[in-house]
Copies of this chain bind each other. A is one copy, B any other.
Amino acid sequence: MSLTVAFLGLGAIGAPMAAHLGRAGHTLTVWNRTVQRATGSAAAAAGARVATSPADAVRGASIVITCLPESSDVAALLNADGQAMLQALEPGVLFVDCTSGDPDTSRRIAADLAARGVDFIDAPVSGGVVGAEAGTLTVMVGGTAAALDRARPALESFAGKIVHCGEVGAGHALKAVNNALLALHIWSTAEGLVVAMKAGVTPQVALDVINASSGRSNASMNLFPERVLTGAFPRTFRLALLDKDAGIAASIARGQKGASPALQLAADLMRIAHLELGDEADHVEAVKLVERWAGVELRQ
């Protein structure tokens, strides 16, 4: 089934997602704040129309997909003076937010959209740039089953797995939780390897053992061997975004009035790492702050 899709936000993840939508035969319009990223995008090369504004992008679309840094950016697009994107959305449109956002803001956006007859689902993705390019992203969806069903033909063009998580905001909550775990595992593995190294165990040996034992994680099995021990630290996912996600998870936990010492620690450590290492640092570079405080480097 061919859809008329507007895609807003052609970042490292959004650009290949949009390209998949175009290749799947949907009628596609793209928009990006920096227009050059839109005109030079693979989607545009494959025939997508490049919109001149968010309001222009969504005209005539049956599905609007956003993939922006955070929920406040989505809210800003909808309500910005002169952009009038909210006003440009026609009743019956489906709004799919692939941003790694926060549930509270999404629920407010959903209410604003509902008042105009527009359905909303949050649909953050995991899988990174590699998954986006391969079209194998995992999509975590919050919203009604009916809305998800309407979105499926679009989502399937870039997804390997689509999971209905719950009501509006549930997708964002799960994405934030996943990323908070990632954050804490990166940090704790770094602390552990530093302790082992100072006790005389090389990082390679330590990882070799941990990865054959119970302390292993995605961080120890993939990130440390490929990125830390090699010193490569490729910039694939910004620490600033992991900081934001860990902060969302911690904030949800605080709002639920539970005890959440581990999630709170993850949020504070990512916040500090982001502040100390800067906006351009990759998320795995948080390890460098552990190293700085330890006075050693975890290299092979």
Please report A residues at the B interface, Cβ cutoff 8 Å.
Answer: 103, 126-128, 138, 140, 142, 161, 163-167, 169-170, 173-174, 177-182, 184-185, 187-189, 191-196, 198-201, 205-206, 208-210, 212-220, 247, 249-269, 271-272, 275, 290, 292-295
Do A215 and B177 contact each other (CB < 8 Å), given the known contacts A138-B209, A254-B247, A264-B264? Answer: yes
Q: Of B142, B195, B218, which is within 8 A of A214 by CB?
A: B218
Asked if A200 meets B170 with Cβ closer than 8 Å, knowing A165-B209, A212-B138, A216-B218, the reply is yes
CB-defined contacts of A192 to chain B, threshold 8 Å? 177-178, 180-181, 249, 263
Asked if A191 and B253 make an inter-chain contact with CB atoms under 8 angstroms apart, the answer reads: yes
A127 with B200, Cβ < 8 A, contacts A251-B254, A264-B268, A293-B258 known? no
B residues near A128, Cβ cutoff 8 Å: 214
Residues of the B chain whose Cβ atoms lie less than 8 Å from the Cβ of A292 = 275
From B182, B269, B295, contact of A262 by CB (8 A): B269
Give the residues in chain B near A249, CB-CB below 8 Å: 192, 195
Q: A181-B220, A194-B256 are in contact. List 19 more A-B contacts (CB 8 A).
A: A163-B209, A166-B200, A169-B199, A174-B199, A177-B195, A177-B210, A178-B213, A187-B262, A188-B262, A191-B258, A191-B260, A191-B262, A199-B252, A216-B217, A247-B254, A251-B251, A258-B271, A265-B265, A272-B293
